[in-house]
Structure 1
Amino acid sequence: MRRSPATLAALLVVAGVLCAGLIGLGVWQIERLHWKVALIETVGERVHAAPTPAPGLDRWPQITAESDGYRHIWVSGRYRDDATVFVQAVTERGPGFWAMTPIVSDRGFTVLVNRGFVPDRHAPLVGSARVTGLLRPSEPGGAFLRKNDPAANRWFSRDIAAIAAARRLGPVAPYFIDADAGAPESVPVAGLTVIRFSNNHLVYAMTWFALAAMVAGAAAMLVRSQRRGSA
C-alpha cells in the first residue's frame, strides 16, 4: 500500500526514535554489566581480605552498601545477650532463626552481630567477645509480604533501626556484622552468608539490540515497499 510522503516520514521518525531508544537501553545494560562485573570482583576481594576494625561513629554517615558491603571487619567488646533478637531465616540447614545480638565495643559504640543460625529461639548463645565477619547493610521493613512486628517480637528481616528501637539500644552502627564461621560444633552456626549477585545484563542488552534491529528492519521494508509502489 502506497503511503503519502508525510505519512512515510512520520513513520520513519517514529521508527528512528524507537530504534535510538532501544539502542540506548542496550548500551545502558552493557554499562550495567561492566559495573556488576567490577562489583563482583570487588566483593570477592573484600570477603577474602584481612579483617579491619569495624567503622566507628566518624565513618557511619559515609557507609553505603556499594562502598562497604561485605567488607571483612572485626570488633571486640561485650555482648548484650539480654537484647538478642531472633530473625526468621531459611538456610542450607533448614528453617530457623538468625541470632542477632548487640555488642558494646571497646571503642564505645554498639553494633549488631548476626552470630549465626539457630534452629529455635531457645538455642544457647556461646561465642567470643571478639568477632570477625562481613559488614552488611540494614534490611529495613521486613520480608516479602511479611512485615516486622516489634511489638510481637516477630522479625523477618535484619532491620537495624527497628531492632535498636525495640531493644532500646540507643545509637547503633548503621550496619550489622555477619559473623565468620566458628568451630563445627559451635552454636549459633555462623559463616552461612550467601554472596550471590544476579547478572543478566548481557541478556537484557542483547534483547534491546535485537528489538532495535527489528524496528530498523521494519523501517527498511517500509521504504522498499514504498519505492516498489512508486515504480
Structure 2
Amino acid sequence: MRIKPATVAVGFAALLIFAGFVALGVWQIHRRTWKLALIEQVDARAHAMPVAPPGPGARVTAANDAYRRVVVRGVFLNDSETLVRAATALGSGYWVMTPLRTRDMVVLVNRGYVSPEQRTAHARPQGEQTVTGYLRITEPGGGFLRRNDPARNAWYSRDVAAIARARGIQAAPYFIDADRVGESAPVGGLTVIAFPNNHLVYMLTWFALAGLTIVGFGVFVRQGRRKAAA
C-alpha cells in the first residue's frame, strides 16, 4: 500500500512531538533526583550541631551553606537596626534585622518577627549575646513586585549588601535567622524550610503526553486506511 504524503508529514510531526515530550520527561527525572539530594543535604545541615559561621572572605553558596546551623557571639548594633516587610504564620509585620559585631566581623541577624504595633517597641539586647540559628542566603532586589528603596528606608527583602550599604557597615554576605529567645518580641524561630517537589507529577505528565501522541498518530493512520478502503 502506498503511503500518502500527508501520513508521512503527520508521522514526522508526531515523532518530533513524541521526542520532545520524552526529553522533557527525562529532564524531570534528573530534576527530581537533584531536588531529592538537595532536600537530604539541607535536612542534614538543619539538624546538625551548630558550628561557627563562615568568616570574612569565605565563599558562601546556597548549595553548600543554606540552612546550616550556626552559633556566634557578639554585640548587637541596635542603632543600625533595619525593619524588613514580612508575611509569617503570625501575620504581616516586619523582620528585625540587626547587625551583630563579633570578634572578627559583622553579620546581620534576623532577630525575628514584630507586628506593625511593635516596630518601635520591642526588645533590644545590650552587651554580649550568643546567637544560634540558621545561615541564610541574601535576598537581593526586593519582594514580589516591590523593590527595596533604601532612600525611603523601605525594605521588602533581606538584601544583605544593600542593607549594609545603607547602614554604612561591612557585613558578611549572608544573614542568620535567630532561634526564638524568650517570649517577648521579636519572635525568632520562624524559619520555614520547605522545597516544592512536583517533579514526579511533571515527569508522569510529559510521558503520558508522549504516549498520547503515539495513540493519536495511530488513530490518524487507522482512519486514513478506513477512508481508503471505503
TM above 0.5? yes
Q: Which residue of structure 2 lines up, in the alignment, with residue 200 of structure 1?
A: 198
User: Could you give the per-residue CA deviations for residues 193-227 of structure 1, whole angstroms, max 9, x where no partner exists?
Assistant: 11111111111111111111111111122222334
The amino acid that maps onto 1:133 is G
In the alignment, the residues of structure 1 paired with residue 199 and residue 223 of structure 2 have an alpha-carbon distance, to the nearest angstrom, of: 36
TM-score, scaled to structure 2: 0.91
Q: Is contact 1:126-1:188 (8 Å) kept?
A: no
Q: Which residue of structure 2 lines up, in the alignment, with residue 8 of structure 1?
A: 7
The sequence identity of aligned pairs, in percent, is: 50
Q: How does 1:115-194 map onto structure 2 within 5 Å?
A: 115-119=111-115, 120-122=118-120, 123-126=122-125, 129-170=129-170, 172-183=171-182, 185-194=183-192
Moved over 4 A (4+): none
- Over the aligned positions, Cα root-mean-square deviation in angstroms equals 1.9
In the alignment, the residues of structure 2 paired with residue 48 and residue 88 of structure 1 have an alpha-carbon distance, to the nearest angstrom, of: 28
Q: Is contact 2:66-2:135 (8 Å) kept?
A: yes
Q: Which residue of structure 2 lines up, in the alignment, with residue 87 of structure 1?
A: 84
**Segment of structure 1 superposing worse, 211-220 or 5-14:** 5-14
The amino acid that maps onto 1:143 is G
Which of 69, 72, 76 pairs up with 1:72? 69
In the alignment, the residues of structure 1 paired with residue 184 and residue 51 of structure 2 have an alpha-carbon distance, to the nearest angstrom, of: 24
Shift of 1:124: 2.3
**Segment of structure 1 superposing worse, 80-89 or 217-226:** 217-226
5+ residue gaps, structure 2: none
In the alignment, the residues of structure 2 paired with residue 140 and residue 44 of structure 1 have an alpha-carbon distance, to the nearest angstrom, of: 24
Q: Which residue of structure 2 lines up, in the alignment, with residue 37 of structure 1?
A: 36
In the alignment, the residues of structure 1 paired with residue 56 and residue 154 of structure 2 have an alpha-carbon distance, to the nearest angstrom, of: 29
Q: Is contact 2:148-2:156 (8 Å) kept?
A: yes
Q: Is contact 2:68-2:135 (8 Å) kept?
A: yes
Shift of 1:155: 0.9
Matched residue SS, 1:166: helix
Shift of 1:58: 3.6
5+ residue gaps, structure 1: none
Q: Which residue of structure 2 lines up, in the alignment, with residue 50 of structure 1?
A: 49
Shift of 1:230: 4.5
The amino acid that maps onto 1:54 is P
Q: Which residue of structure 1 lines up, in the alignment, with residue 216 of structure 2?
A: 218
Residues 121 and 48 of structure 1: is their aligned pair in 2 closer, same or farther, counting only changes over 3 Å?
same
Shift of 1:118: 1.6
Is 1:111–2:110 an aligned residue pair? no
Q: Is contact 1:109-1:173 (8 Å) kept?
A: yes
Q: How does 1:15-30 map onto structure 2 within 5 Å?
A: 15-30=14-29
Matched residue SS, 2:172: strand
